[in-house]
């Protein structure tokens, strides 16, 4: 039985590696690096884009380690969010979170390491550096937000970060909640790489605490949606069970999303109801005036572009295959 399953696994990897028609699906779902990684660990030769993406991933990891070493040497509390996971995935950029009071020192460190400022934005600043013909991008965050609307507590993330692969990353519960909030409330689409990451993170998260924190920060709906989606794709029940009666209203939209054409777009009704849930928690935790001020900033954020892509029959913006 094991041999038969193993043969099917190898055959699937070979198809994904050698069928050019699959590349666009893999790109939009951010798993080219993942396929290359799995193939390499199954003793299969990799070439072309799969080899390039793995090399690119390793360059990003090494540059992140250099950056982390400088930050720690200078006593700067930091966390790398969403970038690295147990199974390597395609990386768009290094999401670096620091406190606002450490932002200026962090910018100086980035400059000393050879990064140059490319863009200053409401949500984050972008720094870049060319390493072995690969552009390494660092997005510098001082909050976890869509525009100026902070949907998760950055202070909690910095305080509870853990070491993974020699760098400080957000711990499993924070990683799960940042992931589901980011995809449902900001990017508005869910790549397969994030489903696999969610599945992996859930195995290392304490379920009762996860549900408690999701409720505290008003993220129960995104968490429940990811749970249903992951169970449907993976084909097994997850160890942490989250349910929501509101999601019953979204099941028709969920059925459409599962068609994966070629990516899973988040139903807009879910995004709107998730913001409503999150707003209630923010008002309770931060007060009405602070919440309203952040809410007004949303139309000026890049999430509006994601919204347009979601409404129109358009694919989300993803880096080109050789980027």
Strands 94-98 and 134-141: parallel
Task: Quote helix, strand, coil % in the chain, to nearest 5.
Answer: 60, 15, 30
CA 303/CA 266 separation, integer angstroms: 13
Confidence (pLDDT) at 50: 94
Confidence (pLDDT) at 3: 46
Confidence (pLDDT) at 43: 83
Mark the ranges of the chain whose per-residue pLDDT is less than 50. Answer: 1-5
Query: Looking at the DSSP assignment, which residues form a beta bridge with residue 164?
Result: 167
Confidence (pLDDT) at 1: 37
Length of the chain: 323
The phi, psi pair for 184, rounded to 5°, reads -80, -35
């Amino acid at each position: 039985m094991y041999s038969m399953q193993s043969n099917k696994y190898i055959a699937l990897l070979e198809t994904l590696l050698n069928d050019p028609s699959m590349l666009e699906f893999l790109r939009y779902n951010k798993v080219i690096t993942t396929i290359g990684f799995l193939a390499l660990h199954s003793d299969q030769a990799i070439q072309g884009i799969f080899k390039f993406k793995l090399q690119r991933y390793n360059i990003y990891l090494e540059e992140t380690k250099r950056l982390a070493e400088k930050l720690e040497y200078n006593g700067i509390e930091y966390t790398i969010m969403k970038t690295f996971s147990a199974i390597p995935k395609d990386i768009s950029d290094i999401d670096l979170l620091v406190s606002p009071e450490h932002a200026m020192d962090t910018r100086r460190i980035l400059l000393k390491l050879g990064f140059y400022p490319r863009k200053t934005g409401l949500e984050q600043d972008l720094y870049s550096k060319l390493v072995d013909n690969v552009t390494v991008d660092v997005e510098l965050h001082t909050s976890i937000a869509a525009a100026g609307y902070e949907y998760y507590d950055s202070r909690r993330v910095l305080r509870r970060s853990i070491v993974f692969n020699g760098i400080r990353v957000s711990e499993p519960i924070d990683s799960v909640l940042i992931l589901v909030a980011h995809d449902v409330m900001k990017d508005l689409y869910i790549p397969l790489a994030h489903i696999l990451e969610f599945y992996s993170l859930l195995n290392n998260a304490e379920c009762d605490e996860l549900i408690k924190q999701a409720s505290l920060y008003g993220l129960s709906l995104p968490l429940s949606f990811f749970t249903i989606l992951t169970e449907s794709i993976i084909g097994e029940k997850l160890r942490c069970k989250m349910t929501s009666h509101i999601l019953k209203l979204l099941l028709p939209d969920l059925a459409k999303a599962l068609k994966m054409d070629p990516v899973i777009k988040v139903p807009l009704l879910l995004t709107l109801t998730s913001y409503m849930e999150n707003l209630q928690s923010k008002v309770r935790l931060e007060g009405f005036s602070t919440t309203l001020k952040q809410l007004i900033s949303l139309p000026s954020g890049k999430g509006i572009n994601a919204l347009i892509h979601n409404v129109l029959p358009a694919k989300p913006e993803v880096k080109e295959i050789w980027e």
